[in-house]
Amino acid sequence: MGRLVASGELTQAQAEAVRREFSAAAGGPRVGWLIEVAGYLGGGLILGGAALLVGSTWDRLGRGWQTAILAGVAALFVAAALLVAEGPGRIRALEGARRRVVGVLLALTSIPAAFAAAVAASDYDAVWGFWAGLAVSLVCLWVLATGLGVAVAAAMSVGAVVSLVEEVWHARPLGVGVALLGLGAAWAAVTVAGWARPKWLGLLIGFGLAIVGAQLPLAEGGTEAWAYALTLAVAAGCLVLYRWERSLMTLAGGVIGVTLAVPEMISDLTDGAVGGAAILLIAGVVLVTASAAGMRWHRRRAGVPD
């Protein structure tokens, strides 16, 4: 159906009508949701069975066997996804419940793959594991983009970046924060470019990581000014991007960044003399005043009378 709609031989409405007829002939959605739940349960049972298998004999196995078992579990997820999709050539054209089941199976593939790489590594096992899991998750995401796949890839990317800068480069909180901020900016960029779907999730991941990274220097004495500056920079970037990308996530990133940085900065400059409620009140008045002035300036430039 997807190919026929893409080629123009069927309209979307016609394709939906055909799907309804086939669904009714096959027993309707009462059967479909059971098949979908069975796929999810199958993926969970694969993970559970693998955990029980290695839990009882893990200590008696050598590193080679441990790696082989974990890699085999990852391959089993791929095989299950191909089985549900009825072949690799049909994965990208999947729709509905089958697409969701295949997306879940592919997204879970990176978890045992990451553990396999970590077990196989002799040094920096967390670094090797997270980077291998990130590579597998990105490949699976390229094959079939799903929200769960984006979330798993984001989690792997955080682990990969943090483990690299902490274990290999021995970075302090400021360095880790800058690395996370850069990772968040990268996620936001690929999302705006259309490479991560759904867009709201990609932007949420990007701006969330950027704000968390900007706030990390607060954990180390003497770098508080960096935290304020980086948080305000993230907020400014979100608000500037909102000019072109009218998404609630970009607006929320800007508002949250300013709401965090301004009270922290005022409290630091006054040595805590100004209470939290007063700080928030001052910040709110400043923002509302700036918003009103900006709107008035914009209306005058556009030639709209007040």
Clarify whether residues 111 and 248 are in a common domain: no
Is the pLDDT assigned to residue 291 strictly greater than 50? Answer: yes
Tell me the pLDDT tens digit for each residue of 109-167: 999 999 999 999 989 999 999 999 999 999 999 999 999 999 999 999 999 999 999 99
Contact 160, 138 (CB under 8 A): no
Count of domains forming the chain: 2
Last residue of a domain, one of 137, 170, 203: 170
203 and 106 belong to one structural domain:
no
Please report the pLDDT score of residue 229 as a whole number: 95
* Predicted local confidence at residue 187, as pLDDT: 97
Residues 193, 268 within the same domain: yes
CA 50 – CA 70 distance, rounded (Å): 8
Q: pLDDT digits over 39-83, tens only?
A: 778 777 877 777 776 666 677 788 898 899 899 999 999 999 999
From residue 136, alpha-carbon distances to 99, 184, 231 in Å are 19, 20, 32
- What is the tens place of the pLDDT at every residue in 202-222? 999 999 999 999 999 999 888
Answer whether residue 24 shows pLDDT above 80: no
The reply to whether 147 and 285 lie within a common domain is no
The parent domain of residue 157 ranges over: 1-170
